[in-house]
Chain A
Amino acid sequence: MTPIRETISLCPVCLRQLPARHVQDGNDIFLQKTCPEHGDFSAVIWRHNDKLPMADWLGGAKPMAPGTELPCPDGCGLCDAHTQSTCCVLLEVTNRCNLSCPNCLAGGLAGEDPTLDEIQQRIDRLLAEGCSFLQISGGEPTLRDDLPEIIAYAKDSGFGFVQLNTNGLRLAEDDAYVQALAKAGLSFVFMQFDGTCDAIYEKLRGKPLLRQKQLAIHHCNRHRLGVTLVPMIAPGVNAGDIGAILRFAVATSPAVRGVHFQPISYLGAHTAPVPDADRFTLPELLLAIEAQTDGMVEADTLVPSQCDHAACGFHGDFVVVNGALQSLGAPRQASCCGPSAAQQGAPADCCASPALPDDSASYSSPLSAAEKSRRFVGRRWERATASVDFDALETPGLEVDFGSFDGFLKQVRSHGFTITSMGFQDRGNIDLERLRQCSLHVYDGENFHPLCARYLGDAIG
């Protein structure tokens, strides 16, 4: 047992702040902490350190200075100690849901839906705060019949991208609703998709759902809404299905734009201690992707999150060619956010460093680097727009002239594909070094909360 990094965490029982340390034992790394009242706690945060050393992955990420004082999480809304501005913001439009997943991260939330009028006011406020990338979330947002109005309002008011986070059930049932969402200007859909067989859904969601997922993709395809699949990966349930999920997604390109993996976390109503066997760490995911795709996706084409702490996730940028993925290289453009006011002028190790090389600056439009980055990311998840000849672009079997600049650009535009991941933190493994760098914020109508803080749940007892 070797201590390797100092940080700050929370007591999983009373949620008070505790000094914490990363401790290495063999090839596993644990987050350990001791509450004077509730005792010792340990959670695995990294496995396979021999094959994928955590220190390499974190690169220049500096550990928290000793004696750092943070107000987390009681001080959220975002505080001065937070190092990321809000650019990707999650707006909850309902707490209702048409599933009752045993592991719902928003499971602890309740209360009446905000009215359309209230939601429009929130959208106004978000725009005034400088947000440009809106994620509509819940509960299950598609339970609202006025969702098309909400989306149209956000797009008309100036949001560049509006993303819908959904389980896809209504999209499967109600083609007219999908059409209305598309017409309203929805940019793309992030849909829960935990695997390629029903046993997985029965375990994670309480019922078989594969057919509905396929129908939802079919309807989104009909109305040219790009779908990114979002599997929650749980060891012993679908960790062996990662390759199959990727193969399904690639086979369904360009309707499917990518896969966004979420290693399971234990948020919301889940307050019981989590055995390490129930955790799936980032390096396990990276290695599983490589192993289960027989090397079609190499782990080193997936690079640490730019917007968030490196340990929170990764991003890889690809194009589908003849049914296989080809890496487009590590996407320098992929960061979607700028530093918070507090961080501006800080050394450029953060994601807002100018994205374009100097010599290409003259080709670029007068957009800010952060704005360009957002557009770059969103472009992959969105289907090609109406100005493009879809049929010529997306006809299967059409010869791809990959050696020509035009052929390449067309293929990337039509069959771009991303593999991304974000792991949420729960009361067992939360690390405030990561939390303070979170760029994904939830707006509750009054304040912005880093996502994990929002769904952490309450102190027990």
Chain B
Amino acid sequence: MSDEKLICMRCDKEMVPEKTNFLYMKFAFNYDLPRCPQCGQVYIPEELVAGKMASVELELEEK
């Protein structure tokens, strides 16, 4: 991930990396993602969505 600072649009606070949990079907994943310390909003970079998360989703397709 880049060193660029991310600012929460809503709170105007700097987002800080934090372990974030994802649940796909029965499988739980965690990943360090920038999160706003005030409102808790998480920023998910496009490359993560298009890369690893898409790959995981493909393996876990639900009918």
Residues of the A chain whose Cβ atoms lie less than 8 Å from the Cβ of B55:
405, 409
Residues of the B chain whose Cβ atoms lie less than 8 Å from the Cβ of A159:
none
Return the chain A residue nearest B22 by Cβ: A405
Residues of the B chain whose Cβ atoms lie less than 8 Å from the Cβ of A360:
54, 57-58
Given the interface contacts A360-B54, A360-B57, does A303 sit within 8 Å of B63 by beta carbon? Answer: yes
Indicate if A328 sits at the interface (CB-CB under 8 A): yes
Report A7-30 residues with CB < 8 Å from chain B CB. Answer: none
Contact of A409 with B62 in the complex, beta carbons under 8 Å: no
Indicate if A2 sits at the interface (CB-CB under 8 A): no
A328 CA to B29 CA, complexed, in Å: 14
Q: How large is the interface on B (under 10, 10 to 19, 20 to 34, 35 or more residues)?
A: 20 to 34
Contact of A408 with B27 in the complex, beta carbons under 8 Å: yes
Contact of A330 with B56 in the complex, beta carbons under 8 Å: no
Contact of A329 with B54 in the complex, beta carbons under 8 Å: no
CB distance from B63 to the nearest CB of A (A): 4
Report B30-63 residues with CB < 8 Å from chain A CB. Answer: 30-31, 50, 52-63
Report A392-429 residues with CB < 8 Å from chain B CB. Answer: 402-406, 408-409, 412
Partner of B29, one of A330, A404, A412: A404
Residues of the B chain whose Cβ atoms lie less than 8 Å from the Cβ of A404:
29-31
Contact of A406 with B62 in the complex, beta carbons under 8 Å: no
Residues of the A chain whose Cβ atoms lie less than 8 Å from the Cβ of B54:
360, 363
A408 CA to B60 CA, complexed, in Å: 11
Contact of A408 with B56 in the complex, beta carbons under 8 Å: yes
A328 CA to B61 CA, complexed, in Å: 8
A403 CA to B63 CA, complexed, in Å: 23
Contact of B50 with A405 in the complex, beta carbons under 8 Å: no
A413 CA to B28 CA, complexed, in Å: 18
Partner of B53, one of A303, A329, A403, A405: A405
CB distance from B19 to the nearest CB of A (A): 10
Contact of A328 with B59 in the complex, beta carbons under 8 Å: yes
Contact of B56 with A409 in the complex, beta carbons under 8 Å: yes
CB distance from A46 to the nearest CB of B (A): 22
CB distance from B17 to the nearest CB of A (A): 15
Residues of the A chain whose Cβ atoms lie less than 8 Å from the Cβ of B53:
405
Q: Which of A330, A356, A363 has the most C-beta atoms of chain B within 10 angstroms of its own C-beta?
A: A363
A459 CA to B55 CA, complexed, in Å: 51
A332 CA to B56 CA, complexed, in Å: 14
Indicate if B25 sits at the interface (CB-CB under 8 A): yes
Indicate if A362 sits at the interface (CB-CB under 8 A): yes
Given the interface contacts A360-B57, A403-B30, does A330 sit within 8 Å of B63 by beta carbon? Answer: yes
Contact of A333 with B31 in the complex, beta carbons under 8 Å: no
Contact of A362 with B50 in the complex, beta carbons under 8 Å: yes
Return the chain A residue nearest B63 by Cβ: A330
Indicate if A331 sits at the interface (CB-CB under 8 A): yes
CB distance from A352 to the nearest CB of B (A): 16
Contact of A408 with B58 in the complex, beta carbons under 8 Å: no
Contact of B27 with A332 in the complex, beta carbons under 8 Å: no
CB distance from A361 to the nearest CB of B (A): 10
Partner of A403, one of B26, B29, B59: B29
A355 CA to B50 CA, complexed, in Å: 17
Partner of A412, one of B50, B52, B59, B62: B59
Report B2-26 residues with CB < 8 Å from chain A CB. Answer: 25-26
Contact of A405 with B29 in the complex, beta carbons under 8 Å: yes
Q: Which of A303, A327, A328, A402 has the most C-beta atoms of chain B within 10 angstroms of its own C-beta?
A: A328
Contact of A329 with B62 in the complex, beta carbons under 8 Å: yes
Residues of the B chain whose Cβ atoms lie less than 8 Å from the Cβ of A409:
52, 55-56, 59
Contact of A333 with B52 in the complex, beta carbons under 8 Å: no
Report A248-281 residues with CB < 8 Å from chain B CB. Answer: none
CB distance from B55 to the nearest CB of A (A): 6
Contact of A329 with B28 in the complex, beta carbons under 8 Å: no
Residues of the B chain whose Cβ atoms lie less than 8 Å from the Cβ of A303:
63
A331 CA to B62 CA, complexed, in Å: 7
Contact of B30 with A328 in the complex, beta carbons under 8 Å: no
Given the interface contacts A363-B54, A405-B56, does A331 sit within 8 Å of B31 by beta carbon? Answer: no
CB distance from B59 to the nearest CB of A (A): 5
Given the interface contacts A360-B54, A405-B53, A408-B56, does A332 sit within 8 Å of B62 by beta carbon? Answer: yes
7 additional A-B residue pairs with CB within 8 Å, beyond A331-B63, A333-B58, A405-B55: A329-B63, A330-B61, A360-B54, A363-B50, A403-B30, A404-B31, A409-B59
5 closest A-B pairs (Cβ-Cβ)?
A330-B63, A405-B52, A332-B61, A363-B54, A363-B50
Q: 22 A-B Cβ contacts within 8 A?
A: A303-B63, A326-B26, A329-B25, A329-B60, A329-B62, A330-B61, A330-B62, A331-B61, A333-B61, A355-B61, A356-B58, A360-B54, A363-B54, A402-B27, A403-B29, A403-B30, A404-B29, A404-B31, A406-B52, A408-B29, A409-B52, A412-B59
